């Protein structure tokens, strides 16, 4: 290696990977990638739940974004199945990424997972790639990053959808990821200052201006309570709009098609609709071991929303590409659309879709 190592290499990185749990694997990889921050790389962590398949987000110095889906396997000899790739590709659109990565501590992915990854140009990281990432990080060698599929020197030219998810910059512990398998801190060299966590104090807010407006806000809030009641004012401020519900439902529905998991739909649609229209279709494919991998060929457009009291009608326009992947069968690919969908929403505690139909 032409670089001086930041840390003494762990002689048995394989056993270290075996001892990590799911969350530990995510943070471990985030810490490794964070050693490249001085070279312009940025690492973000996503929220723990409802992350739509994205566990980590990585931006390279040229603006190319990767979203990483991590799958931990207790038995690392068992291959990783389709779900990891499905979630990685779904997260690519959700987080506005150019590339998706399905990552695992296992030794391999299943053949259907590899085929699905090839269709969607998803990068696969197994235990072997994680070992390369480990050595790339301790030597801070970007050439090794290229060996595991990360691009360098290619400015981002692909259009990227705007992500609506809040991303939190990952602040690594410079010591934690380089702990020997026995639990003792490995011999290490002092990290350069530029890779240590930095905390920039925020500028003090102008309190006098806030105090000036405080009485106005208080009077307005009390007036709203007097007219509408406290509960209605408080709930209305937090409720998503019908358009938000339609957009969320579309994303959750594609997730259900890609993973056979309908749990995210209940946030946006009534249980009766899911049980009658969606669940039987999902169950039918699941019994055959199939998934209907669905991606947007063009971003969904909301053509119009008509709100009348507690009932709203929304019309949207979609173009999808769908690939039916079944064990032992040739994959079937088709383009669905353009087509229009009509949703009827009702509001009780919040807006929920109660009817859907299209042509």
pLDDT digits 0-9 by tens, 90-107: 888 888 889 999 999 888
- The tokens describing 115, both together, are 């085929």
pLDDT in tens, 293-306: 788 888 888 889 99
How far apart, in whole angstroms, are the C-alpha atoms of residue 21 and residue 241? 38
Tell me the pLDDT tens digit for each residue of 307-318: 999 999 999 998
Domains of the chain listed by start with CATH number: 13-195 (3.40.1350.10), 207-235 (no CATH), 242-358 (3.10.450.50)
pLDDT at 355 (0 to 100): 92
Cβ neighbors of 23 (< 8 A, separation 6 or more) are 48
- The pLDDT of residue 178 is 44
Give the H or E element holding residue 354.
Answer: strand 351-358
User: Are the C-beta atoms of 342 and 358 separated by less than 8 Å?
Assistant: yes
How far is CA 103 from its chain centroid? 13
- Which of the 8 DSSP states describes residue 80? B
At 185 the pLDDT is 38
pLDDT of residue 193: 31
Which position has the token pair 């639990």? 183
Is residue 234 very low, low, confident or very high in pLDDT (cuts 50, 70, 90)? very low
Residue-wise DSSP of 36-73:
TGGGT-EEEE--SSS-TT-SEEEE-TTS-EEEEEEE--
Give the C-alpha separation, 26 to 20, whole Å.
9
Q: What does the DSSP 8-state code read for residue 178?
A: G
Least confident span in 45-54, 128-137, 270-279, 341-350: 45-54
pLDDT value, residue 199? 31
Tally: H helices and E strands in the chain: 11, 10
């Amino acid at each position: 290696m032409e670089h001086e190592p930041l840390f003494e290499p762990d002689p048995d990185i394989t056993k270290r990977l075996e001892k990590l749990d799911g969350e530990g694997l995510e943070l471990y990889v985030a810490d490794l990638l964070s050693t490249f921050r001085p070279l312009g790389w940025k690492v973000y962590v996503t929220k723990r739940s409802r992350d739509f398949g994205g566990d980590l987000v990585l931006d390279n110095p040229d603006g190319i974004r990767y979203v990483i889906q991590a799958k931990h396997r207790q038995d690392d000899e068992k291959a990783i199945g389709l779900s990891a790739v499905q979630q990685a590709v779904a997260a690519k659109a959700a987080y506005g990424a150019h590339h998706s990565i399905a990552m695992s501590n296992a030794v391999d992915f299943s053949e259907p997972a590899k085929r699905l990854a090839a269709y969607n140009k998803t990068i696969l990281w197994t235990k072997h790639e994680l070992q390369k990432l480990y050595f790339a990080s301790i030597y801070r060698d970007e050439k090794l990053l290229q060996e595991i599929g990360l691009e360098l020197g290619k400015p981002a030219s692909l259009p990227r959808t705007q992500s609506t998810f809040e991303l939190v910059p990952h602040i690594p512990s410079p010591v934690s990821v380089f702990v020997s398998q026995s639990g003792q801190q490995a011999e290490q060299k002092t990290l350069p200052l530029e890779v240590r966590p930095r905390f920039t104090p925020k500028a003090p807010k102008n309190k006098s201006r806030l105090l000036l407006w405080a009485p106005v806000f208080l009077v307005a809030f009390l007036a709203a309570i007097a007219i509408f009641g406290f509960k209605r004012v408080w709930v209305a401020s937090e409720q998503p709009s019908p358009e938000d519900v339609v957009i969320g439902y579309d994303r959750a529905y594609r997730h259900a098609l890609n993973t056979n998991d309908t749990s995210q739909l209940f946030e946006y649609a009534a249980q009766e609709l899911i049980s009658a229209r969606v669940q039987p279709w999902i169950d039918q494919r699941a019994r055959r071991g199939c998934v209907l991998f669905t991606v947007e060929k063009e971003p969904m457009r909301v053509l119009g929303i008509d709100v009348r009291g507690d009932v709203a009608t929304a019309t949207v326009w979609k173009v999808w590409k769908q690939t039916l992947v079944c064990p032992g069968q040739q994959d079937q690919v088709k383009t669905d659309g353009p087509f229009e969908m009509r949703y009827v929403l009702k509001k009780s505690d919040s807006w929920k879709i109660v009817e859907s139909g299209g042509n």
